[in-house]
A and B are shown apart, each in its own frame.
Chain A
Amino acid sequence: MSTQTVPQLLRQQLAILAESDQRIDGRGRWEMREIDLEVGCLYNAEGSAKVTWGDTVIYAGVKFEIRTPYDDRPAQGSLMCGSELRPVAHRKYDPGPPSPESIELGRVVDRGIRESGCIDMANLCIVPGEKVWMVVIDIHVLSDGGNLFDAAGLAAIAALRNATVPAARFDVGEDYQLPVSLTPIMTTFTRVGGRLVYDANEEEELGGDERVSVTLGDTGAMHSMQKGLKGTFTPPELAEILDVAAEHCKNLRELVDSKVN
């Protein structure tokens, strides 16, 4: 894909569509693409989920490792969430060490989960000062059809809620379901044709500007926000998307609830 000509023509088209309140794939401004969520789909992962979100396909897998705790938190486990934008996901991705884009994706998802407090780190202690669990969530993007952030966030929390702590395999007791008390959900808005829309697809991202991601917890509290890419937005715009976000988060949380026990 040429780096200049195509986005310029696309930007013009997106701007024309936006003037008459239209989107390039016929959706409404706040409308979501079709989603499919599967949980427990990976044999060797202790928790897993596959999200198909429009043309985006993402797997998340949860693994556990035993670590010595940090000195200042001897009775607390830890959490790590990473993502890989491997070349399998799109022809635009090159092989090599993790790109800034893939690091940002992993860290934004990580913050939404961590800061919601959905995992009580005290529950991950095995022997205080000696052994604690580290929960590792790996986000594996197989197809980038746009809005990786929301799809990755959904896959990560669904995989966590599906996870079993493999205590028997590590000889530290019996297996048990990982306690996850909340279901933080991320929603992302992208400026397309001059206005913010929800759930941008691949073309809208290519011809769009900044993105704003918000993660909301079960009570509606905000747990992470991230503005990315070039562009600016105003406080009234933020207030508007937060209202839309609340509605989508509620629906997506119900979807997760319906798939995990």
Chain B
Amino acid sequence: MGGYGDVKLLNDDGSRLDGRAIDEMRPVEIRAGVLPVADGSAYVKHGLNEAIVAVYGPMEAHPRRIQLQDQAVLDVRYNMAPFSTSDRIRPGFNRRSREISKVTAEALSSVVLVERYPRSKIRVEIEILSAEAGTRCVGITAAAVALADAGIPMRDLLVGVAAGKVEDTVVLDLDKAEDNYGQADLPMGIMPATGEIAFMQMDGDLSMDELNTAVEYCFKGAADIYELQKAALKDRYNGGDSQ
């Protein structure tokens, strides 16, 4: 969270700079099966963020030391394309992408029925093509659709969505300015059918009441994205009439 208090993020009528209400999400668009050679794939556009995810597997886990005797390993890579941000990113892993990859893998492992595939590996490749605040959430939303598209059994889909705080007000789905100059950011991975949380991070400054509101907003946003995820998967098989 950047230096707050010095940048105006809410209009006088209480709306946000881009005109959204405080509990309104940016527009979301989801498509399944976008990459020809992958076993499963998905594209998600969320505001100005764009992510493409490819899933390969289940396959034999290599190297053998990563194998688990009773379940599959999710090998998740979150990567930002060099041209995805306003300043070019040098290609390759960094500390941020490694951490996001790790917690995303753990979140997806909580949703996928990993016990069905002992000693195997499922590769999930998250590529961020355009970044404008909230890419880890967009990656999670896309990864869940790509896993389902690959026919991998799951307890539920997983939806990535964030809430935060700007000018002492809790808002749903921070945009770039709100992320840079706001007071808190709470990205979550929600299983809408079961009501469970599989992913959570937070930084900034939130009271208990604000946290409750933020979680409530995240669940509300997740319910909407969930419908789009399901529609995208159905579209794969009925020629594009669900959306």
Q: 1/0 per position for A217-251, CB-CB distance to B under 8 A?
A: 00000000000000000000000000000000000
B27 in contact (CB, < 8 A) = no
The answer to whether A44 touches B86 (Cβ under 8 A) is yes
User: If A44-B132, A61-B81 touch, does A88 touch B36 (CB 8 Å cutoff)?
Assistant: no
The answer to whether B85 touches A57 (Cβ under 8 A) is no
A63 in contact (CB, < 8 A) = yes
Give A211 to B240 CA distance when docked, in angstroms. Answer: 39
Of A55, A56, A82, A88, which is in contact with the most chain B CB atoms at under 10 Å from its CB?
A88
Q: Which one, A45, A55, A61, A138, contacts B36 given CB within 8 A?
A: A55
The answer to whether A44 touches B37 (Cβ under 8 A) is no
The answer to whether B82 touches A138 (Cβ under 8 A) is yes
**Stretch of A24-32, A140-148, A180-188 on the interface side:** A140-148
Interface of A, helix, strand, loop or mixed by DSSP: mixed
Give A135 to B39 CA distance when docked, in angstroms. Answer: 35
Which of chain B's residues 34-85 have a Cβ closer than 8 Å to chain A? 34-39, 48, 50, 52-54, 56-57, 59, 77, 79, 81-85
User: If A48-B83, A59-B129, A145-B36 touch, does A43 touch B91 (CB 8 Å cutoff)?
Assistant: no
B130 in contact (CB, < 8 A) = yes
The answer to whether A142 touches B86 (Cβ under 8 A) is no
Tell me the smallest distance from the CB of A111 to a CB of chain B, in Å: 20
The answer to whether B92 touches A97 (Cβ under 8 A) is yes
Known: A44-B86, A87-B56. 16 other contacts (CB 8 A): A42-B84, A44-B131, A45-B83, A57-B34, A63-B88, A82-B91, A88-B35, A88-B54, A88-B127, A90-B37, A95-B77, A136-B82, A138-B81, A138-B83, A143-B54, A145-B37
User: If A42-B83, A59-B81 touch, does A142 touch B50 (CB 8 Å cutoff)?
Assistant: no
Tell me the smallest distance from the CB of B6 to a CB of chain A, in Å: 21
The answer to whether A140 touches B37 (Cβ under 8 A) is no
Give A44 to B37 CA distance when docked, in angstroms. Answer: 26
Tell me the smallest distance from the CB of B158 to a CB of chain A, in Å: 19
A120 in contact (CB, < 8 A) = no
Give A61 to B86 CA distance when docked, in angstroms. Answer: 11
